[in-house]
């Protein structure tokens, strides 16, 4: 099955506008247990399951409508239709309609900087198309469609803690995300934006290179199995120590597979290493704070509200978010 066939299966092949303009929004999600490696590149089917947490207030709000010609705007700025980001957007839209469309996205995170901009972007676009075409899809259907644009977008369809099931079927209809019922009011995420520049190597290329050349990657599924179970237990018990340990080990494990690939993929900057040392020093001083990193140089901190002032004192530039309000 190819992407177009999967899209038609989920939507029933309907692509008639029921509104003059469709609109949808989605938050970025930060993976605590990473998605790294595909068993099917065409359908963005992952090798393993993953688990994330959404960050409300950070993400994309998208409007889409029929137009005389294709146009894509990000924060009011027109994007060159030949640019990679625009090409991905219109390739995705062509799964549903051949008609030209205008897409306007307001994003509160920089593009391609390792802050899940593609996840929130494709989830928001999927919701906007669902609104414009009147598909009335369930969360599961939206998650499957968003996955066709960007794997991590399957999780950004939902808020809170979200698990993306890897699935086993070749058509991918059992590979979708679902929200966990758990709520953790005093959990905090801190964003250290160390660079807002586009990554020199995109996540897709880095992932493909890692799977094909890294011997360490053979151990990755076992790492995920252990971390996923530990993280879900930690979430249910609100155990920060357990959550932080598994999230930190999982992130380091993913980056280790990249470093051992060929040619090596190194996203870290000197500032990234400095921030990691800062986290470890703060933890040794008695403040329970942990970190995670996606495929990029920026560092995300994990802690609770009781230690917000200590974290802010150690990292004055941090942006602190309460995922559950």
Residue 114 has pLDDT above 80, yes or no: no
CA atoms of 237 and 232, how far apart (whole Å): 9
CA atoms of 284 and 254, how far apart (whole Å): 24
- The 8-class DSSP code of residue 2 comes to -
Residue 275 has pLDDT above 70, yes or no: yes
Share the mean pLDDT of the chain.
Answer: 95
- Torsions phi, psi of 292, nearest 5? -145, 160
Write the DSSP string, 131-166: HHHT----HHHHHHHHHHH-TTHHHHTS-SEEEE--
Please, which pLDDT band fits residue 110 given cuts at 50, 70 and 90?
low
In total, the chain counts a number of residues equal to 325
Residue 241 has pLDDT above 90, yes or no: yes
Delineate the domains of the chain, giving CATH numbers in brackets.
Answer: 3-179 (3.30.230.10), 187-321 (3.30.70.890)
First to last CA, the chain: 41
CA atoms of 189 and 302, how far apart (whole Å): 5
Q: Decide if 193 contacts 58 (C-beta within 8 A).
A: no
- Record the pTM: 0.95
Residue 113 has pLDDT above 60, yes or no: no
For residue 26, give both structure tokens.
Answer: 């989605």
Residue 70 has pLDDT above 60, yes or no: yes
Mean pLDDT of 170-186: 97
């Amino acid at each position: 099955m190819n992407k177009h066939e999967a899209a038609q299966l989920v939507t029933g092949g309907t692509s008639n506008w029921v509104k003059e303009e469709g609109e949808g929004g989605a938050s970025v999600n930060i993976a605590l247990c990473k998605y790294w490696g595909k068993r099917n590149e065409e359908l963005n089917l992952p090798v393993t399951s993953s688990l994330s947490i959404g960050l409300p207030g950070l993400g994309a709000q998208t409007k889409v409508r029929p137009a005389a010609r294709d146009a894509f705007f990000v924060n009011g700025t027109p994007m060159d239709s030949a640019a990679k980001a625009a090409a991905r957007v219109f390739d995705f839209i062509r799964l549903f309609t051949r008609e030209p469309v205008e897409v306007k996205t307001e994003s509160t995170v920089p593009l391609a900087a390792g802050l899940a901009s593609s996840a929130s972007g494709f989830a928001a676009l999927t919701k906007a198309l669902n609104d414009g075409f009147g598909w009335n899809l369930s969360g599961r259907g939206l998650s499957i469609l968003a996955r066709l644009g960007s794997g991590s977008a399957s999780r950004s369809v939902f808020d809170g803690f979200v698990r993306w099931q890897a699935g086993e079927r070749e058509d991918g209809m059992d590979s979708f995300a679902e929200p966990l019922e758990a709520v953790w009011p005093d959990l905090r995420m801190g964003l250290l934006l160390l660079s807002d520049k586009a990554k020199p190597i995109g996540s897709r290329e880095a992932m493909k290179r890692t799977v094909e050349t890294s011997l360490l990657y053979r151990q990755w599924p076992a790492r995920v199995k252990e971390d996923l179970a530990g993280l879900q237990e930690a979430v249910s018990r609100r155990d920060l120590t357990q959550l932080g340990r598994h999230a930190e080990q999982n992130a380091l494990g993913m980056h280790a597979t990249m470093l051992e690939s060929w040619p090596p993929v190194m996203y870290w900057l000197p500032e990234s290493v400095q921030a990691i040392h800062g986290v470890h020093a703060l933890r040794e001083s008695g403040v329970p704070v942990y970190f995670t990193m996606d495929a990029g140089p920026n560092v995300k901190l994990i802690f609770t509200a009781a230690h917000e002032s200590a974290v802010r004192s150690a990292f004055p530039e941090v942006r602190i978010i309460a995922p559950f309000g």
